[in-house]
Structure 1
Amino acid sequence: MMVRALSADFLKIRGKGIWLLALIAPIGLIAMQALNFGLRYDYLMKVYAADPWGGLIENILMFVPIAIILGITLVCSLVANVENQLSSWKQLLALPITRTAVFSAKFVMVLLVLCVSCILLSVGTPVLGFALGMDMQNIPYGDLIRLGLVPLMGAVPLLALQLWLSLTTKNQGIAVSFGVTASVVSLFALKFPDWMPLKWPLMAYIGPGQTKVISAGLLLGAVITLAGLIHFNRRDVN
Structure 2
Amino acid sequence: MMLRALSSDWLKIRGKGIWFLAALGPLGLVAMQGLNFGLRYDYLMKQYAADPWGGLLQNILSFVPIALFLGCTLICSLMANVEHQLSSWKQLLALPISRTAVYSAKFTLAVIILLVSCLLLSAGTAGLGLVLQLERSEMPIADVLRIGVAPFIASLPLLALQLWLSLTTKNQGLPVAIGLTVSVLSVFSYKLHDAIPLKWPLLAYTGPGALQVIAGGAILGACIVGLGLIHFNRRDVD
Shorter-chain TM-score tier: over 0.9
1:235 CA displacement: 0.5
1:176 CA displacement: 0.4
Separation in 2, partners of 1:112, 1:205: 20
1:198 CA displacement: 0.4
Amino acid in structure 2 at the alignment position of 1:209: G
Write out aligned runs for 1:137-148 (5 A).
137-148=137-148
Q: TM-score, normalised by structure 1?
A: 0.99
Separation in 1, partners of 2:62, 2:35: 15
Q: Cα deviation per residue 1:136-174 (whole Å; 9 max; x = unaligned)?
A: 111110001100100001001111111000000110011
Write out aligned runs for 1:216-235 (5 A).
216-235=216-235
Amino acid in structure 1 at the alignment position of 2:230: I
Write out aligned runs for 1:80-99 (5 A).
80-99=80-99
Q: Cα deviation per residue 1:23-79 (whole Å; 9 max; x = unaligned)?
A: 111110000001100111111000000010000000000000100000000000000
Task: Number of aligned residue pairs: give it.
Answer: 238
1:199 aligns with 2:169: no
Which residue of structure 1 lines up, in the alignment, with residue 68 of structure 2? 68
Amino acid in structure 1 at the alignment position of 2:129: G
Task: Name the SS of the counterpart of 1:236 in structure 2.
Answer: coil
Which residue of structure 1 lines up, in the alignment, with residue 57 of structure 2? 57
Write out aligned runs for 1:131-170 (5 A).
131-170=131-170
Amino acid in structure 1 at the alignment position of 2:40: R
Q: Cα deviation per residue 1:169-208 (whole Å; 9 max; x = unaligned)?
A: 1100111000000000011101101110100111111011
Amino acid in structure 2 at the alignment position of 1:57: L
1:133 CA displacement: 1.1
- C-alpha RMSD over aligned residues: 0.5
Which residue of structure 1 lines up, in the alignment, with residue 128 of structure 2? 128
Separation in 2, partners of 1:194, 1:125: 26
Task: Name the SS of the counterpart of 1:143 in structure 2.
Answer: helix
| Runs of 4+ residues deviating >4 angstroms | none
1:222 CA displacement: 0.8
1:41 aligns with 2:41: yes
Separation in 1, partners of 2:49, 2:218: 36
Q: Cα deviation per residue 1:101-131 (whole Å; 9 max; x = unaligned)?
A: 0000000000000000000111111111111
Identical amino acids, percent of aligned pairs: 66
Which residue of structure 1 lines up, in the alignment, with residue 190 of structure 2? 190
Which residue of structure 1 lines up, in the alignment, with residue 174 of structure 2? 174
Amino acid in structure 1 at the alignment position of 2:68: I
1:13 CA displacement: 0.2
Which residue of structure 1 lines up, in the alignment, with residue 21 of structure 2? 21
Separation in 1, partners of 2:8, 2:218: 26
Separation in 2, partners of 1:124, 1:185: 26
Separation in 1, partners of 2:95, 2:48: 58
Separation in 2, partners of 1:224, 1:124: 31
Structure 1: state its 5+ residue gaps.
Answer: none
Which residue of structure 1 lines up, in the alignment, with residue 10 of structure 2? 10
Separation in 2, partners of 1:193, 1:130: 36
Q: TM-score, normalised by structure 2?
A: 0.99
Which residue of structure 2 lines up, in the alignment, with residue 116 of structure 1? 116
